[in-house]
Structure 1
Amino acid sequence: MLSLTLRSVRGAINHISTRSLSPSYTPLALSPSQDSSTSSPIASSNGEADFDSLPAQGTARSTAYNRLLAFLLFLLPSFIQSRIRPGAFKPRRMHPTSWLDGLRGVASLIVFFFHFTDDTHKGLLMSYGVQRDGDKAASSPLQLPFLRVIFAGKPMVHIFFVISGFVLAYKPLRQIRARQFDSLQKTLASSVFRRGFRLFLPTLVSTFIIMFLRYYGWIPRKAKGSLYEQFDQWQHEVIKILGFIWQWDSSRTPDYDSHLWTIPIEMSFSMFLFVVVTGLSHVKTYVRLAAVVGLGAFCLRHGHYAGWEFMAGVVLAEVQLIQDAHKERKAALEQNKEAAYIESSVGTAGLSDSTADGSRRRSVAKLIFQGFLIVNLIFALYVAGWPREKWEETPAIDFLLQHTPEPYRSRGQSWPIFIWYAIGAVQIVLALQQIEPLRRVFNTKPAQYLADVSYSLYICHGPVMKVLHHRLMPYLWEPVGGIQGADMGGRFLVWFFGLTIMAIPVFWVSDIFLRVVDNKCVEFARWIEKKCVIDE
């Protein structure tokens, strides 16, 4: 039935006018190894939509019909469009760092799950066996350690920062190791120039839309009198968000969208990273590694957890390049050995025994190292389930809380958690980097689609939920007796169906925002850079 429906829709699409279709999306490409033009799904050599083979329609009526059909096609999420017109989409190009994109996408999804759960089911954010004051419902299996990671949104933000450190440093470090210092200067200059556009233009658009949603009452927040007064408040809020850059990693919550508190931190520590990479670009590898590790540890010790996470990303990127170079040398050495064995059989048996012994030792060492990484991963995933309240009643978490160092311990709020999230985020990314089977999950098609929409999903899920949450959830709570009257099973059903229903508009809006706003902001940043830079 599904295949028949798709064939019918494809047949209808084949009658769409050439001019009525707009280009499809270009995936969000934060990785320096990726160019968004190469991963665009439209199958044409220059990255533009290629519909010239479609027949033109002569009448005004057919033209209007085609434009309407094209508009409806445009409204479909890109993954559905690719099913309807698979020939118009380029196959995805995978890169050595594609798994990081997938990890970022999955982390964005978990952030969405967290904010939905925090708005509707705060009891699920407690540890298993621990109830909120006045709540008599039994704990859900979702609250068990490790399972609760599916809505552990706060540690995902720290994973974002480690990933950013990795992908922002990867290309510059590769050029440093290749002694391509002229190219390095251009790369860093371009990154510094475009970073602000990349981070703030999409948020500028999203908060501008939120301004209208507030004014017209779609978001239940008291509007500021006239539309002009609402606009004046919005522009002051934009200036305040930009000013948060100078606060480094203090958690300042923007009024128009509280989830955007991470964006100024991304900006400030991106600049910090570019300065560090520039300053260490001409030193030896071991000196650079030691300096970056030292800087990261210094940041962590003095309360700048994001500095630690960005610097850890730089170290992991350098380690990746070192391992890649080692693999290349090893492959070349194996080829030379094979040629030598063919030329002479003298001493071959002894050499084979020696090689086998060395291989066994390396295998044992690798297994021990991977076991160590898995233990670290288990610790990090347990810490990721840090409860929302009553930390002291959670096994092991109470121990970490007692041993939280200053200045995190005395700052209150969520600060005691940040140092453990920061350590755990590095442990998670390191384990995934070094254990290949774990990376495969993040190279799958669903994970890579999440990678495409990750930034849009992060920006859009909050406003969409604010518009729909108070309209949807009362209808779901009513059959199970309301929030207070529902038992554990009823609450789980409301959580599951509410999240499933909410995901539809969230992903729909995020997909459109990706194509209409996010990708256009990337293109605008490149265009304005091209216009501003000096011709050589």
Structure 2
Amino acid sequence: MAVASSRFSALDGLRGVAALVVVVHHCLLVSPLMAAGYYGGDVGDNPVRLALMYTPLHLVWGGAEAVVVFFVLSGFVLSRAIRSRSFDWFSYFPSRVLRLYVPVVGAIVFGFVVLMMPHVNATSSPWLQRDSSDYDLGTVLQDLTLVGGTSGVVSPLWTLRWEVIFSLLLPVAAYAVRVIPAWLLGVLCVGLSTLGAAQDVAAMQYLPIFGVGVALEGEWDRISRTVDRMTRRAGGFVWTGILVLAVTMLSMHWLLLAPLGHAAAVALSQGPIVVGAALLVIMATHFGPLQRLLTWRPIAWLGGISFSLYLIHEPLVLMMAGASHAARWTVLTAVPLALIVAWVFWLVVERPAHHLSRTVRARATWKAAAPAQAASDSAAEEAARSEQDRTPIHA
């Protein structure tokens, strides 16, 4: 039981690292050359910039790849929560909506206040060419609904749209994994996501990524047995190979971009990126050194505030970009500031939302379930039921 608990705690750490990568991603986009390269232009001939753009080092600031990891994690953890005998659909929907929307409302209010403060864009980065004064009441209301699309003023909210939609479609995913072999469901979802990326159909590109997480959970026992058997025979060689494969797959878009161009890189890399994210989840829960790193106290703390960090960091990056003239200064100022503000946001907004969600779930379950069934819930099942609370994103 302790080993299993440690394994899944490592996923919180993985989520925290992915959230920090997104913060660094936006900080580096303050640089005109890095932003130009990201949008398909020229990064110049500086070897450091070239390495950060077109090699696996890109994963240090690979925001898009981090989002794929978020989506796979959400699909995995939510589908795992369904396994608990104490899971209840009647209570799931209101508690899940509260868990997601209350922090989102707080983040939108925070973003509105910060973006309305006077600031000057100190660089010519195309990422900074936005008019935050357009964040009026109508735009704010658009962001609050999420499912109809977001304004892009606070850009991380776009992922919450798909998070909410998948959360509402979770019964469909639960049914699919019952009638379709999990491995086949995973293959189909990777294929659909690849097709969606090639055709630029957002719903087809992003929603199947959650399905890969569902399929991963469906095959989890078999995967665990296989990995344990392989590591007993070959040990570190297996994990070295999986690590190289995962990093290569996650970097695929940037490895292909220069030789093939944007359209081909998008079409050919989507599938490998999704598979690479799934491999990373397997590594986080089975590879001892990585598992220990991700459960190390500072990383665990980062995982605890990851949702808050993801939601509130971008307005702070924009604010600090206005006070600096180079991306390196934005990284040095915005990252610590975002960590501090995210911790406060977690205390003031996210933790109360978590408690509210749990209260609503408990009351809704009590009304829907027979008293004898409610009395039979064990402590272990209560822990499993709380999985959906600890994993608000992806994001």
**TM-score w.r.t. structure 2 length?**
0.74
What does residue range 99-138 of structure 1 map to in structure 2 within 5 Å? 99-120=10-31, 122-123=33-34, 126=37, 132=42, 135=44, 137=46
Partner residue in 2 for 1:356: none
Q: 2:68 aligns with which of 155, 158, 162?
A: 158
Aligned equivalents of 1:146, 1:297: Cα separation in 2:
21
Give 3-state SS (helix, strand or coil) of 2:30's partner. helix
> Equivalent residue for 1:373?
242
AA matched with 1:268 = I
Q: Please tell me the residue identity of whatever aligns with 1:106.
A: V
Deviation of 1:157 (Å): 0.4
Aligned residue in 1 for 2:144:
238
Indicate which of 196, 200, 204 corresponds to 2:101.
Answer: 200
Residue 217 of structure 2 aligns with an amino acid whose one-letter code is A
1:511 to 343, 360, 363: 343
2:154: which partner in 1? 257
The answer on 1:309 being equivalent to 2:209 is yes
**Matching residue of 1:486:** none
Shift of 1:233: 4.2
Q: Distance in 1 between matches of 2:108 and 2:232?
A: 53
1:375/1:125 CA distance change after superposition, 3 Å:
farther
Distance in structure 1 (CA, Å) of the matches to 2:107 and 2:176: 36
For residues 23-422 of structure 1, the aligned pairs below 5 Å read 95-120=6-31, 122-123=33-34, 126=37, 132=42, 135=44, 137=46, 139-140=48-49, 143=52, 145-173=55-83, 175=84, 180=85, 183-184=86-87, 186=88, 188-217=89-118, 221=131, 223=133, 230-239=136-145, 241-244=146-149, 253-278=150-175, 280=177, 288-290=181-183, 292-293=185-186, 295-297=188-190, 299-300=192-193, 302-303=195-196, 304-322=204-222, 363-364=232-233, 370=239, 373-383=242-252, 386=254, 391-393=257-259, 398=260, 402=264, 409=267, 417-422=269-274
**Is 2:345 the counterpart of 1:448?**
no
Closer/same/farther in 2, CA of residues 470 and 325 from structure 1, 3 Å limit: same
Deviation at 1:169, TM superposition (A): 1.3
Q: Is the 8 A contact 2:115 2:315 kept in 1?
A: no
Q: Is the 8 A contact 1:219 1:466 kept in 2?
A: no
Distance 2:116 2:262 in 1: 45
Structure 1 position 290, deviation (Å): 4.5
Is contact 1:305-1:422 (8 Å) kept?
no
Secondary structure, aligned partner of 2:206:
helix
Alpha-carbon distance between aligned partners in 1 of 2:48 and 2:301, rounded to the nearest angstrom = 33
- Structure number with the bigger relative contact order (C-alpha 8 A, sep ≥ 6) is 2
**Where does residue 388 of structure 2 map in the other structure?**
none
Amino acid at match of 1:469: A
Q: Report the AA paired with residue 8 of structure 2.
A: T
Contact 1:166 / 1:313 at 8 angstroms: preserved in 2?
yes
Question: Quick one: which amino acid aligns to residue 186 of structure 2?
Answer: V
Partner SS, residue 132 of structure 1: coil
| Equivalent residue number for residue 427 of structure 1 | 279
Mapped partners of 1:528, 1:305: distance in 2: 33
Shift of 1:213: 3.5
Q: What is the match of residue 10 of structure 1?
A: none
Q: Decide which structure has the larger Cα Rg and report it.
A: 1
- Give the CA deviation at 1:137: 4.9
Q: Contact between 2:65 and 2:273, CA under 8 Å: does it hold in 1?
A: yes
In the alignment, what sits opposite 1:465?
317
1:498 to 330, 336, 339: 330
Aligned length: 349
Q: Write the letter of the residue equivalent to 2:291.
A: R
Q: CA RMSD in A?
A: 3.8
Aligned residue for 2:358, secondary structure, equals helix
Counterparts of 2:55 and 2:286, CA distance in 1:
24
The structure whose residues are more often helix, as a share, is 2
Q: Which amino acid aligns with 2:141?
A: Q
State the distance in 2 between where 1:326 and 1:146 align.
Answer: 27
Report the Cα distance in structure 2 between the residues aligned to 1:156 and 1:381, rounded to whole angstroms.
9
How far off its partner does 1:451 sit? 0.3
8 Å Cα contact 1:215-1:230 kept in structure 2: no
Say whether the 8 Å CA contact 1:392–1:401 is kept in structure 2. no
SS at 1:243's partner residue?
coil
C-alpha change, 1:114 and 1:215, in structure 2 (3 Å) is closer
Distance 2:111 2:49 in 1: 35
Say if 1:294 and 1:444 are closer, same or farther in 2 by CA, change over 3 A.
Answer: same
Give the alignment's TM-score, normalised by structure 1: 0.56
For structure 1, the residue ranges without an aligned partner over 5 or more in a row are 1-32, 35-92, 245-252, 331-358, 410-415, 478-493
Write the distance in 1 (CA, Å) between the matches of 2:117 and 2:41: 38
- The 1:378–1:527 alpha-carbon spacing in structure 2 relative to 1, beyond 3 Å, is closer
The one-letter code of the counterpart of 1:500 is L
Alpha-carbon distance, 1:300 to partner: 2.8
Structure 2: state its 5+ residue gaps: 122-130, 197-203, 371-395
Distance in 2 between the 1:126 and 1:365 partners?
Answer: 40
Q: Deviations over 1:108-165 (max 9, x none)?
A: 00010010001225338849xx9827x4655447526232321111111001011111
In structure 2, do the counterparts of structure 1 residues 141 and 438 end up closer, same or farther at CA, with 3 Å as the change threshold?
farther
Partners in 2 of 1:234 and 1:100 — Cα distance?
A: 32
